[in-house]
Structure 1
């Protein structure tokens, strides 16, 4: 039995009305065997059984489809009703009555609301019973429609519960990143900074500086994964929109920091009056840091990197331009997580920088776009509309 069949059996088992439906069908028709069956292209699988005949069929048992009439029902999507199989011209020579003797038989299709075939609601008995001339077929079809709705409702409930469990796992994952990883890294960084203040030996100073640099890089990687978890798996990257009169200073600090790491690169900046801006200062600085680091690492090493941040009538535009060129086939995937420029040179980081920058822009209600051409180079532009 496959995984899908087991899941369908479990779904039917969780519907409390099924035993009562089979009981009513048996008493209403006089047929002593009733079942809900899942029907695939090859097999008939019992999902629920009421057996007063001692057939021995149990939940989970399978029959080859050729040994049942369900293939005709699956293909025709119509009910099959037989009062006396031994005299029925369409049934008496078929394989089923000869291998599983019965005289009276009724089966109706269970169809999902989108038209997909699930299986059958069926009943049979070795004794003949007048079924065609009664209201029993209509009643069985009503039960089948009700059962189809119950199946889909139960499946939706299971998906909702699975999503709830997944949400709890996401929150636990974020908690592990936020506490169990970042706190030890903070302690390592603080210890390295303390050593640097006390050491006078150049060799040991170099080792302490290496520890500090590695700890800060590891912290940045953890922060990137944490933001990825919030942005892609959770409720988005959180931002606090408030007046930021010192936004310009924050952006200049980012530029100076990147410049100190890459002293040989030319970084030109034009930061306008941003004193009236409303945004999340730290997140916008993080966005610029990601864009600028990307430009320095992947842009033309001999060309300048240009940073511009301007606000006019409440409309904020931050752009980072370099002389590199992004392959056309890479552009549609550039803001996806773990996306990297193609090339043979290994790159540091997780490939989350541009994704996180795009999530920060989205959280602000803004946009992050990229344009890359051979004559103009590559420009990333973050636009934030005026506050309404």
Structure 2
């Protein structure tokens, strides 16, 4: 008589090769969709950063005028909300970059063309400052173009925050044999009247996170401030 309890249990059937291949293909397709969504969110966050920077710059310019306590309190609330929104945007971009760093790889980028496109877009976000683009050197560099565009926007916003009202900003893209640089110069009020934009440390961290180095150069005659982000031209920008 057959005893079902004494019979040796049969091992579960292993998935067939076609089934495994189909599962792997499905997983890769889903991962690709997730990466695409993350990149879209990063680009949307970047697009929001420029008008938000213009709003914060507007509150800064208004604060320099004569205001009663209630008006100043309203501006403080607006600026505080803008700063919080900026932090959330930066966090969203950082999360998207972390999620997609295995998919987005540095590639040859025409630096002058990329910066020119950024300047054209930023000119609409900062109508109070005419933007001029200077080019020096020729050739491509290895970079993540989306992250590089985000950095240009942050540098212009920081420069505009300390610039003399109504002054022009000069954005320079520089290609050298071993390095490439992005520089933003802003004329500023006399040194004792310059109001720090408050974002130099955050900007320095952002440049360092991309494998570069930020220099802040100040001059007194005429008064001005120049931000210079420098990267190795051939080395990949860190994720």
Q: TM-score, normalised by structure 1?
A: 0.33
Which aligned pairs between 1:187-336 and structure 2 lie closer than 5 A?
221-227=87-93, 240-245=105-110, 247-272=111-136, 275-324=139-188
Q: 2:210 aligns with which of 357, 364, 371?
A: 364
2:230 maps to what in 1? 383
Higher relative contact order (CA 8 A, sep 6+): 2
SS at match of 1:381: strand
Alpha carbons 1:308, 1:318 under 8 Å: kept = yes
**Cα distance in 2 for residues equivalent to 1:230 and 1:356:** 18
Alpha carbons 2:213, 2:229 under 8 Å: kept = yes
SS at match of 1:369: strand
SS at match of 1:301: coil
| Residue deviations 1:327-347 (CA, integer Å, cap 9, x gap) | 69x9xxxxxxxxx837xxxxx
Shift of 1:218: 8.8
Please provide the CA RMSD for this pair.
4.2
Alpha carbons 1:323, 1:377 under 8 Å: kept = yes
**Cα distance in 1 for residues equivalent to 2:105 and 2:127:** 33
Shift of 1:379: 0.5
Shift of 1:280: 1.3
Shift of 1:274: 5.2
Which aligned pairs between 1:1-388 and structure 2 lie closer than 5 A?
221-227=87-93, 240-245=105-110, 247-272=111-136, 275-324=139-188, 341=196, 354-375=200-221, 376-387=223-234
**Cα distance in 2 for residues equivalent to 1:254 and 1:221:** 21
Structure ID, larger Rg: 1
SS at match of 1:277: strand
**Cα distance in 2 for residues equivalent to 1:228 and 1:327:** 34
Shift of 1:318: 1.2
**Cα distance in 1 for residues equivalent to 2:137 and 2:84:** 34
Shift of 1:229: 7.5
Shift of 1:219: 7.3
Unaligned runs of 5+ in 2: 1-36, 49-82
Q: TM-score, normalised by structure 2?
A: 0.51
The number of equivalent residue pairs is: 156
**Cα distance in 1 for residues equivalent to 2:94 and 2:191:** 25
1:383–1:297 distance in 2 versus 1, CA, 3 Å: same
**Cα distance in 1 for residues equivalent to 2:225 and 2:138:** 24
